[in-house]
Amino acid sequence: MKSDVYLRQNAMVEPLFNQWYAWPYLVSPVTAPMYVGNLHLRLMESFIANPQIHIAALKNPEMAGGPFLSFDESKVGSVAQLVEKTRRQSAPLLQFADAVRELTGILTSRADGASLLPFYPDVPEVLRGYVELVYDVNHHPSIRFLEPLLYRSLAYDEAAQSLDFSVVEGDDRPFVFSTPRLEEGHRLRLPLPYRAEGLDRVFRMRERPQPLGFAKEALGISGAVDARFEGLFTDRAPRPSSVHAGPGVRLRYFGHACVLIETRDTTILTDPIVAYDHGHGAERFSFADLPDRIDYVLITHAHQDHCMLETLLQLRHKIRHIVVPRNNGGGLADPSLKLVLKNAGFASVTEIDELGAIETADGAITSLPFFGEHGDLNIRSKTTYLVRLLGKSFLFCADSNAFEPRLYDHLADIVGDLDVAFVGMECDGAPMSWLYGPVVTASLARRMDQSRRLDASNRERGMELVKRLRPRAVYVYAMGSEPWLTYLTSIHYSESSRPIVESRALVRECQAMGICAESLFGKKELQFG
Ligand SMILES: [Fe+2]
Ligand SMILES: [Fe+2]
């Protein structure tokens, strides 16, 4: 390749942490140690001890998202090497996770409502000065972590971050959260932190060609490159993107909870997940369909399918501001998305409070509360967004579970005249431990775990929201139904799956009320005004 080249539309990058697929909880120094110690090592050691259990479990398709490594026995040695490497390189993180367990044990067994000062000498060394011991108002003791300070401690290990580059030819990617990446193989693994500025220069090459040497330098590659590197680039220009230059508001559904909202002056992207364009499978919008500049990215919550580092890093060069919900601060289950994204190289990250608003050139973005879907944990970093542009209004409800309809009575005045409600209806949801098990410090009985689910609204609850907010149109989204999402969600719907049955019933009920309603899948473009 002698001329300038483009980064391929189907060039994939997987951010990794200790060779595990990275998501926000693997960035925060409060949560990452808990996942390394309480999930990654446990899973790998279980596989080494008895690979047959993992192999047998994964023969059952229903176990696809479960705690099993997707390897055959030949990988036992490689997994053992990764365990050894993790124990060596992530020793400070493992000490942190052990210290949290030890200190939690001390507090729960000995703190009786009297002063916590006598316990400070017992705080394990790695936590000293990074934690305050506190009671809630019911005298339950807990640990308050100084999260910003921990980003400057040994618990924040950027050296564990890396990026795997490869080219994808289909949507079929195995589930990523229970199996690490081992040998590089056909992937090009670069030991770069997510904040590496050169990534922006390379991802901009999807739109603007550069010499191959430019990409090499941007990625810090000094030696010879091989076909894995050259294969990421092409001399073929991407298909032209259709810029929205007309009047009114144009919406483009990119799949799951990712919607592009454009006016002539403002571009907004919700919960970015952009599918790769490899020319096969379901129709889709992809990188070529995004504008050069995204004014606001809106993140609804920290779940992997909504705050998706893989896509965010590839769009960072065109994102002006990211808006995230504010967290509670100091807890183990609710890390700061602002700190996660700041440390992942995003220059402008704005925290929004419940009912907070941001004025845009031709409208406003308002944060409205979001109940449920987090296993009843006290997680505040979740929000819905009301986007008003050019007099049109769109509500992105993400995975809200409308089990308390009175909330929408209270919000109806604020929402006012509503053009569209985007409603998530993944109403089965995983048990709480599926996501939060590694940060739960007390024992979790099956009865508790099964009842505290990560579930969105069913038909009945979705209709309570619809009846109270009276949108002109309802679109069911965020179902994880696109074929390019199974690596994140492990969801494989059939016609009888409850979320499909419930969402179809909601669509019919809305239509019977004269409301335009549809379940979105794959790709959709809508024009307003
Ligand atoms: Fe969620
Ligand atoms: Fe979701």
Mean pLDDT, residues 297-315 taken together: 98
Mean pLDDT, residues 115-129 taken together: 98
- CA of 476 from ligand 2 middle (Å) equals 12
- CA of 388 from ligand 1 middle (Å) equals 23
* Whether residues 276 and 390 fall in one domain: yes
* Predicted pLDDT at 220: 95
CA dihedral 285, 287, 290, 295 (to 10 degrees): 130
- CA of 292 from ligand 2 middle (Å) equals 27
* Whether residues 180 and 275 fall in one domain: no
- CA of 409 from ligand 2 middle (Å) equals 24
Is 284 part of a structural domain of the chain? yes
- CA of 60 from ligand 2 middle (Å) equals 24
- CA of 398 from ligand 2 middle (Å) equals 7
Binning pLDDT at 50, 70 and 90, where does residue 241 land? confident
- CA of 478 from ligand 2 middle (Å) equals 6
* Predicted pLDDT at 61: 85
- Helix locations, 303-432, DSSP H: 309-315, 337-343, 406-415
- CA of 484 from ligand 2 middle (Å) equals 14
* Whether residues 82 and 216 fall in one domain: yes
Mean pLDDT, residues 62-88 taken together: 95
- CA of 457 from ligand 2 middle (Å) equals 11
Which ligand lies nearest to the CA atom of residue 301 in the structure?
1
Instruction: Please state the φ and ψ torsions of residue 425, each to the nearest 5 degrees.
Output: -135, 35
- Decide: 480 and 488 in contact? Cβ < 8 Å: yes
* Model confidence at 2: pLDDT above 80: no
* Predicted pLDDT at 116: 98
CA dihedral 288, 291, 294, 295 (to 10 degrees): -170
Distance of CA 373 to the CA centre of its chain: 14
Is 152 part of a structural domain of the chain? no
Which ligand lies nearest to the CA atom of residue 382 in the structure?
1
Which ligand lies nearest to the CA atom of residue 305 in the structure?
2
* Model confidence at 281: pLDDT above 90: yes
Q: What is the pairing mode between strands 473-477 and 294-298?
A: unpaired
Task: Tell which of 200, 217, 238 closes a domain.
Answer: 238
Binning pLDDT at 50, 70 and 90, where does residue 340 land? very high
Which ligand lies nearest to the CA atom of residue 372 in the structure?
1
Is 342 part of a structural domain of the chain? yes
- CA of 52 from ligand 1 middle (Å) equals 32
Lowest average pLDDT, out of 229-233, 324-328, 376-380, 485-489, goes to 485-489
* Predicted pLDDT at 268: 98
Mean pLDDT, residues 239-243 taken together: 85
Domain carrying residue 57: 1-90+157-238
- CA of 205 from ligand 1 middle (Å) equals 32
* Whether residues 291 and 233 fall in one domain: no
* Predicted pLDDT at 495: 93
* Whether residues 228 and 306 fall in one domain: no
* Whether residues 196 and 175 fall in one domain: yes
Beta carbons within 10 angstroms of residue 49's beta carbon = 9
Is 146 part of a structural domain of the chain? no
* Predicted pLDDT at 62: 84
* Whether residues 280 and 392 fall in one domain: yes
User: CATH no. for residue 305?
Assistant: 3.60.15.10
Rounded-to-integer distance, Cα 16 and Cα 193, Å: 10
- CA of 398 from ligand 1 middle (Å) equals 7
Is 227 part of a structural domain of the chain? yes
* Whether residues 199 and 271 fall in one domain: no
- CA of 142 from ligand 1 middle (Å) equals 26
Interhelix angle 91-110/76-89, nearest 10 degrees = 70
Which ligand lies nearest to the CA atom of residue 479 in the structure?
2
* Whether residues 253 and 199 fall in one domain: no
Binning pLDDT at 50, 70 and 90, where does residue 451 land? very high
CA dihedral 292, 358, 461, 458 (to 10 degrees): 20
* Model confidence at 117: pLDDT above 90: yes
Is 119 part of a structural domain of the chain? no
- CA of 399 from ligand 1 middle (Å) equals 5
Lowest average pLDDT, out of 108-112, 489-493, 507-511, goes to 489-493
Mean pLDDT, residues 122-142 taken together: 97
* Whether residues 510 and 462 fall in one domain: yes
* Whether residues 441 and 511 fall in one domain: yes
- CA of 104 from ligand 2 middle (Å) equals 31
Is 107 part of a structural domain of the chain? no
* Predicted pLDDT at 243: 84
Instruction: Please give the model's pTM, rounded to 2 decimal places.
Output: 0.97
Is 138 part of a structural domain of the chain? no
Please, what sign has the CA dihedral across residues 356, 361, 363, 365?
negative
* Whether residues 213 and 323 fall in one domain: no
Tracing tokens 């703190």 back to the chain, one arrives at: 111
Mean pLDDT, residues 145-173 taken together: 97
Q: Could you report the per-residue pLDDT of 20-74, keeping only the tens digit for each?
A: 999 999 999 999 999 999 999 999 999 999 999 999 999 998 888 899 999 999 9
Q: What angle do CA 113, 114, 119 make, to 5 degrees?
A: 105
- CA of 209 from ligand 2 middle (Å) equals 35
Rounded-to-integer distance, Cα 64 and Cα 85, Å: 27
Which ligand lies nearest to the CA atom of residue 270 in the structure?
2
* Model confidence at 1: pLDDT above 80: no
Which ligand lies nearest to the CA atom of residue 373 in the structure?
1
Task: Tell which of 194, 210, 238 closes a domain.
Answer: 238
Mean pLDDT, residues 180-201 taken together: 95
Task: Tell which of 216, 238, 260 closes a domain.
Answer: 238
Domain total of the chain: 2
Q: Could you report the per-residue pLDDT of 368-379, keeping only the tens digit for each?
A: 999 999 999 999
Mean pLDDT, residues 352-371 taken together: 97
Rounded-to-integer distance, Cα 411 and Cα 420, Å: 15
